[in-house]
């Protein structure tokens, strides 16, 4: 018996070393073991968590889906895949975790429960949602502008176009996205307003304004005024693209 206790204590010490939340549950989802990181994650001591279920701490709208996924794995023996769940802590905060799961088996090879490892992805999720919101806001602004706006990456491949740019060039944004702007609307000649910028790469080396002759989708020659500015990433320290405003001259 003493050896069993020592072995259990050794295992507990090892999992307490893990920097991420770790939990073991039986076939009914009752918590059998948690580590220190999991306790900190919930703001509770292990004694209060043992015998409860992971769903006691989960957002209500995710409980049914999580239960269904858990039972499917337990009953079918299918390899569980990582899932994301919103979990509430004892102090009322909520966090988003990516949960990696693995089945536990008894001596006969039958599924006896599941191991759960929790990775906090709250900041990643918030950053993704913020980026998505920013993109929606940007697209709304672009739609409202009367000037044609074309955004390219540093190599000149189109990333965004607004409706005014579609009307001017004859191309749909979906048709030019991912293609070189020169392949869709060749700039035949560009005359900068500042002659010192005659050999400057338009918009990549800095803001640049001038008049250009271009060919639209129907190979009709148009004269447009172009105002190009670099998109500079301060974190990376280099230009990641160019935003160009085109206006029919």
pLDDT, one tens digit per residue, over 77-129 is 887 888 888 888 777 778 888 888 888 888 888 899 988 888 888 877 666 66
Residue 106's domain comprises 2-120
The tally of domains found in the chain comes to 2
In a domain, 130, yes or no: no
pLDDT at position 4: 44
What's the rounded Cα separation, in Å, for the pair 170 and 226?
17
In a domain, 126, yes or no: no
- 34 versus 198: which is more confidently predicted? 34
pLDDT digits (tens, 9 = 90+) for 45-80: 889 889 999 888 887 778 888 888 899 988 888 878
pLDDT at position 6: 52
In a domain, 64, yes or no: yes
Q: Could you tell me if 144 and 39 lie in one domain? A: no
pLDDT band at 211 (very low <50, low <70, confident <90, very high): very high
Q: Is the pLDDT of residue 131 over 50?
A: yes
In a domain, 63, yes or no: yes
Q: Could you tell me if 177 and 215 lie in one domain? A: yes
Record the pTM.
0.50
pLDDT band at 140 (very low <50, low <70, confident <90, very high): low
Q: Could you tell me if 156 and 193 lie in one domain? A: yes
């Amino acid at each position: 018996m003493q050896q069993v206790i020592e072995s259990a204590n050794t295992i507990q010490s090892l999992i307490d070393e893990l920097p991420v939340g770790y939990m073991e549950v039986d076939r009914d989802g009752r918590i059998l073991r948690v580590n220190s990181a999991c306790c900190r994650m919930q703001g509770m001591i292990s004694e209060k968590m043992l015998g409860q279920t992971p769903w006691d701490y989960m957002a209500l709208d995710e409980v049914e889906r999580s239960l269904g996924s858990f039972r499917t794995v337990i009953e079918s023996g299918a390899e569980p895949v990582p899932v994301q769940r919103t979990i509430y802590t004892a102090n009322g905060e909520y966090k988003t975790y990516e949960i990696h799961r693995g089945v536990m088996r008894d001596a006969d090879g039958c599924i006896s429960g599941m191991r759960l490892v929790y990775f906090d992805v709250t900041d990643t999720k918030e950053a993704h949602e913020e980026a998505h919101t920013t993109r929606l806001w940007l697209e709304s602004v672009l739609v409202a502008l009367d000037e044609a706006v074309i955004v390219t990456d540093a190599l000149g491949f189109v990333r965004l176009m607004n409706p005014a740019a579609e009307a001017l060039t004859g191309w749909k944004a979906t048709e030019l996205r991912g293609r070189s702007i020169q392949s869709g609307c060749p700039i035949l000649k560009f005359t900068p307003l500042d002659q010192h910028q005659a050999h400057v790469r338009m918009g990549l080396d800095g803001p640049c304004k001038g008049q250009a002759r271009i060919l639209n989708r129907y190979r009709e020659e148009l004269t447009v005024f172009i105002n190009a500015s670099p998109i500079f990433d301060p974190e990376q320290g280099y230009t990641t693209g160019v935003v160009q405003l085109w206006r029919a001259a």
